Amino acid sequence: MIDFLPNIILILIGLYVLMTLGYVAFSWWWKQKAERMVPPRGAFTSISTGRLHYVDCGSGPAILLVHGLGGNLAHFDCGLIDDLAKDFRVVAIDRPGSGYSERPADAAANIRSQARQVAEVIEKLEIDNPLVVGHSLGGAISLALALEKPQLVRGLALLAPLSLPIKEAAGVFDAYRIGSDVYRRILSWTTAVPHMIRHPGPVETEIFGPDGIPPEFPVRGGGLLSLRPDAFYNASRDFQASEEDLVGMSRDYSKLAVPVRVLFGKEDRILDPSHHGELLVRRYPQIGLKLIEGGHMLPLTRVADSAAFIRKAYEAMKDRKFISRASPEVYR
């Protein structure tokens, strides 16, 4: 029996190696498939993090769209971009590390650093005084941008934004809670993608719920692009770094020099509207809040409501008349 142990160990090691190679092969195959089904739909430019993918359409006053954690610019392309482009120049970006935009492993992923990267985009693409629309994590990045570079933006219209430090993140993000970058890279190319494909339930129940997933989400809405190794890797980095700046940022909201409006779904299961919305405006009454029916993925599930909210925000901010206090007449 003892003589067989070395052979058994070698067999087990060989099986483990084959299984790992199988995961890598599947992840690579799925990445190619997702990118064939959802190819780049815009143009590319370069900023400090490398190539950046963006869509630029329409004409008129500028609106800049910044997506959330694990997303891409296609989250705005299930009707919202087309609606707004009738009257505005609309620029939607894949944030560095998301969609088809590059971000090297040594580039910072914290919120303030990402805000500086968005500022680079504004200057590079010569987006004149845009109304910045940030969804979820993109809302926090938009707030950091307004704090650091208020001269670049007209104001903020935020959709279900991450705005205050979180006591406990939604369970759907537990897979992103990875402290080691080496382990994060290994998981992204082995079990992460197969696991997400086999277990789509949390996306439906937590991220989209109680709203349904639009049938066009996988392709037109860019959902398949999230099921790639690099997408998982960078979403995990974003998640781990998302809390670094929020405490300091939230102390500075009283200094915001641009108007800010917030739209939340009352049934949001990812970010609590009573915390990131109602508590926010109680602390900083210059920020306006509107609550509607729906969950977290407002740009995809509540397109008409989101477009109307953005248009109303622009109308209130078009002359850059900064409002010191929120009021029903102005915000609701």
Contact 229, 193 (CB under 8 A): yes
Question: For 273-286, what is each residue's pLDDT tens digit?
Answer: 999 999 999 999 99
Q: Which CATH architecture has domain 37-331?
A: 3-Layer(aba) Sandwich (3.40)
Which of 315, 231, 324 shows the shortest CA–CA distance to 285? 324
Q: Which amino acid is at 182?
A: V
CA end-to-end span of the chain:
78
The one-letter amino acid code at 74 reads: A
- Going along 23-115, which residue ranges are E strands? 43-47, 50-57, 62-66, 89-93
Confidence of residue 3 (pLDDT cuts 50, 70, 90): low
The 10s digit of each residue's pLDDT in 196-241 is 999 988 899 999 999 999 999 999 999 999 999 999 999 999 999 9
State which H helix or E strand residue 12 sits in: helix 5-37
* Most confidently predicted of 12-16, 18-22, 204-208: 204-208
Domain boundaries, the chain: 37-331
- pLDDT, residue 328, reads 40
Q: Name the pairing type of β-strands 50-57 and 43-47.
A: antiparallel
